[in-house]
Amino acid sequence: MSWILILEQTLNGLQFGLMLFLLAAGLTLVFGIMDMINLAHGSLYMVGAYLMAACVQATGSFVWGLVLAVAGTALIGMALEVALLRRLYQRDHLTQVLATFALILIANELVRLVFGSQPVLLNTPAALSGPVDLLPGLSYSSYRLLIIAVGMAVAVLLYVLVAKTRTGMLVRAGASNREMATAMGVNIRTLFTIVFGVGAALCAIAGAMLGPILAVQVGMGENILILAFVVIVIGGIGSIRGALVGSLLVGIVDTIGRTLLPVLFREFLPPAYASNLGPAVASILIYVLMAAVLFWKPQGLFPARG
Amino acid sequence: MPTRALTIATLAAALVFPLVAAPLGWEYYLGFASRIMIYAIAASSLNLILGYGGMVSFGHAAFLGAGAYAVGILMAEGVASAWIAWPVAIVLAALFALVIGAISLRTRGVYFIMITLAFAQMMYYVFISMKEYGGDDGLNLPTRSVVGLGLDLKSDATFYYLALASLVATLYGLNRLVHARFGRVIEAIRENETRMEAVGFSTYRYKLVCFVIAGAVCGFAGALLANQGNFVSPRLLDWAQSGSLMIMVILGGIGHLYGGAIGAVVLLALEEVLSSYTIYWQLPVGMILLAIVLFAPQGLAGAFARTRRS
């Protein structure tokens, strides 16, 4: 076990955590402001990745593909909000879970109808396909570095948007006390649509950036959606800061756990147990983390409502 | 009382079905009907906590999986007797429910939904990593559980009657439970937990007992399901499975005695019919589901009761 490996895995964890943050940020805002559980958030991530694949194919450019995919997904998200999700805000959580579960089924089948059930190929841009030397002995994929850079840039942008602008102020007001914000004359309806569009755009960025390293396939949204929910529950629902801390925690714990735990177990346990137990414990590690956080802090690490 | 007449007619039809199935060549539907009835048991157990108790558990499939794997693993180790395997399945599921419930019931609302989901996911990954019991691919069972008493569960008709008897027993028990003092307390806690606490009920303990009962019943359904298909796999614990159990309850009618059963029949029959017409059957299922959630929030049993009342 070398330090180089741990450093490399930490970078992988950071990269995964930042992409999780893009999903979790949208989810936590929708959840916190509109008090709405949106299981279909993962479907927007899937739609983003598929649009990216289609747009890169059509334009031949990674950057244009990204721009078009993000804009397209944001439009789809806003249309969905206006046409359907708006009706669900006043309903109970159970209804929201079921309605958006139905949306997942519909979205998966529509994507399968349009793109087929085989995974779609999405390549890294040629300029970024090789590794770069970060330290002597540590060469790291340049595309993953780009993901980290994009993730950080979006996180900073989102922070400025939420903490420094007037729209962001309204968003924060809505998250901490919806009734009061409405009473003070905030147009909650338009705000909701905008927030939903931003959330969809963030999903699309994550889907588009992760597309080349994970498979672009039907059902890709579901697994990452559950992770995003784990993140916002750990961080505290409605809190962007909590989403960031939770994402990095989950990303790094998950990635490092998968590498380190099997090695650790092999040190201390007979090999027959270790080969089974290592992966098992590694894959439930983040759920244990979440259960532990909820046990001691039932409102998450950074509760948005005081 | 038309409801009672309808119940008796349905039960009579269910009793006669295997007798006419063989001459008509409907053997396939005997297995299908057994599967529906097993899911009806599982959905009814979820209805107890979801509908009557107001606890929105998004991880009920965990108990289905626990029961199924208890039967599967025991059989892989050479224990085929139903008299050992099924009680183990029920007790194991109840124990899981006790641990999961004891921790989850500390939280409220959305957090409860998410933590139950997290526990189900944990168990899902644990079963995936058990390579000696099939891992991701699942485990084939060589035979069905052995009951003795002159009953051979390998016969699909015998198994059908067993599933039917189990379903009737479950619904009878559920009916008794929700009309007993315990059920009244549970429903009152759903309506106003603070008040019940103030009156002096230990609400946490009532909710936990309710959660464990539901888990145990669902574990039994899992044991039957493993027998029905001669197969257990981690898919049984998938979060989509928890989702479909919830759909069954909502579809049938949340907090209605027959809600879980009606939902199981409608959803599984819908899947069966639509999947014979198109490989994209999830699309119409999703749309129908969306329509029901938006326009008939009380489910089919609720819509039926409403039309009768008006």
CB-CB neighbours of B266 under 10 Å: 19
Q: What is the pLDDT of residue B310?
A: 47
Domain of residue A30: give its range.
12-217
On the question of pLDDT at B97 being above 80, the answer is yes
Local structure of residue B148 (DSSP, 8 states): B
3-state secondary structure of B46: helix
Give Cα separations from A300 to A174, A251, B74, B110, B218 (angstroms). 19, 17, 40, 12, 30
The domain tally of chain B equals 1
Any chain A CB within 8 A of the CB of B250? yes
- Which residue of chain B comes nearest to A96, CA vs CA? B293
Closest CA to B214 of B170, B163, B165, B263: B170
Cα gap B50→A46, rounded to integer Å: 31
Contact A244, A220 (CB under 8 A): no
Any chain B CB within 8 A of the CB of A229? yes
**Partners of residue A226 in chain B, C-beta under 8 Å:** 117, 121, 239
Residue type for position A153: A
The mean pLDDT value for B168-180 works out to 91
Q: How far is CA B176 from the centre of its chain?
A: 18
DSSP-assigned letters across all residues of A138-185: EEEEHHHHHHHHHHHHHHHHHHHHHHHSHHHHHHHHHHH-HHHHHHTT
Phi first, then psi: give them for residue B287, nearest 5 degrees. -70, -40
Domain of residue B27: give its range.
2-309
Answer positive or negative: Cα dihedral of A122, A125, A126, A132.
Answer: negative
Any chain B CB within 8 A of the CB of A87? yes
**Is B280 in contact with A112 (Cβ distance < 8 A)?**
yes
What is the nearest CA distance from A42 to chain B, expressed in angstroms?
14
On the question of pLDDT at A247 being above 90, the answer is yes
Any chain A CB within 8 A of the CB of B122? yes
Higher pLDDT, B101 or B145: B101
On the question of pLDDT at A274 being above 80, the answer is no
Instruction: Using pLDDT thresholds of 50, 70 and 90, give the confidence band for residue A305.
Output: low
Closest CA to B221 of B11, B21, B5, B45: B45
The mean pLDDT value for B17-26 works out to 77
Residue from the list B126, B128, B247 with its beta carbon closest to the beta carbon of A98: B247
CB-CB neighbours of A113 under 10 Å: 12
Cα gap B292→A164, rounded to integer Å: 43
Asked if residue A238 is part of any domain, the answer here is no
Query: To probe the interface with B, which of A108, A114, A284, A289 has the most B CB atoms within 10 Å?
Result: A284
Any chain A CB within 8 A of the CB of B117? yes
On the question of pLDDT at A83 being above 50, the answer is yes
3-state secondary structure of B257: coil
Which value, in Å, is the radius of gyration of the alpha carbons in chain B?
Answer: 19
Any chain A CB within 8 A of the CB of B278? no
- The pTM of this model reads 0.85
- Return the structure tokens found at A132: 């770069």
The most confident of the ranges A33-47, A254-268, B5-19 is: A33-47
Q: What is the pLDDT of residue A71?
A: 94
Give Cα separations from A10 to A212, A227, B256, B309 (angstroms). 20, 18, 51, 63
Instruction: Using pLDDT thresholds of 50, 70 and 90, give the confidence band for residue A306.
Output: very low
Any chain B CB within 8 A of the CB of A108? yes
Local structure of residue B297 (DSSP, 8 states): T
The CATH number covering residue B21 comes to: 1.10.3470
Asked if residue A234 is part of any domain, the answer here is no
Q: What is the pLDDT of residues B207-223, one digit of tens each?
A: 999 999 999 999 999 99
On the question of pLDDT at A137 being above 90, the answer is no
Beta-carbon pairs below 8 A across chains A and B: 124
Closest CA to A208 of A43, A89, A4, A70: A70
Q: What is the pLDDT of residue B108?
A: 80
Q: Rounded mean pLDDT of chain B?
A: 85
- Angle at which helices B259-277 and B299-309 cross, to 10°: 110
Q: How far is CA A162 from the centre of its chain?
A: 18
Let me know how long chain A is: 306
The mean pLDDT value for A171-200 works out to 82
Percentage of residues of chain B with pLDDT beyond 90: 27
Which helix (H) or strand (E) is B232 found in, with range? strand B231-232
**With DSSP H G I counted as helix, E B as strand and the rest as coil, what are the percentages for chain B, rounded to 5?**
80, 5, 20
DSSP-assigned letters across all residues of A59-114: HS-HHHHHHHHHHHHHHHHHHHHHHTGGGGTTS-HHHHHHHHHHHHHHHHHHHHHH
Q: Rounded mean pLDDT of chain A?
A: 85
Per-residue b or e along A257-281, where b marks 16 or more CB atoms closer than 10 Å to that residue's CB: bbbbbbeebeeeeeeeebebbbbbb
The mean pLDDT value for B129-157 works out to 77
Residue from the list A112, A279, A287 with its beta carbon closest to the beta carbon of B121: A287
Q: What is the pLDDT of residue A268?
A: 78
The domain tally of chain A equals 1
Q: What is the pLDDT of residue B208?
A: 94
Q: What is the pLDDT of residues A202-227, one digit of tens each?
A: 999 999 998 888 888 888 888 888 88
Among A8-17, A92-101, A136-145, A223-232, which is the least confidently predicted range? A136-145
**In which residue are the tokens 């409801």 written?**
B3
Answer positive or negative: Cα dihedral of B147, B148, B152, B154.
Answer: positive
- Angle at which helices A41-59 and A3-34 cross, to 10°: 110
Query: To probe the interface with B, which of A34, A106, A234, A288 has the most B CB atoms within 10 Å?
Result: A106
Asked if residue A212 is part of any domain, the answer here is yes
DSSP-assigned letters across all residues of B26-37: -HHHHHHHHHHH
What own/partner pairs with CB < 8 Å and gap ≥ 24 does A170-177 have? A171/A29, A171/A33, A171/A195, A174/A33, A175/A29, A175/A32, A175/A33, A175/A238, A175/A239, A175/A304, A175/A305, A176/A238, A176/A304, A176/A305, A176/A306, A177/A305
**Is B110 in contact with A37 (Cβ distance < 8 A)?**
yes
Q: What is the pLDDT of residue B306?
A: 59
Closest CA to B164 of B110, B208, B103, B228: B228
Any chain B CB within 8 A of the CB of A273? no
Closest CA to B107 of B211, B236, B214, B232: B211
**What value of ipTM does the predicted structure carry?**
0.80
Higher pLDDT, A248 or A91: A248
The mean pLDDT value for B9-28 works out to 79
Among A21-25, A104-108, A118-122, which is the least confidently predicted range? A118-122
B139 beta partners? B232
On the question of pLDDT at B308 being above 60, the answer is no
Contact A222, A42 (CB under 8 A): yes
On the question of pLDDT at B12 being above 60, the answer is yes
- Return the structure tokens found at B158: 């015998």
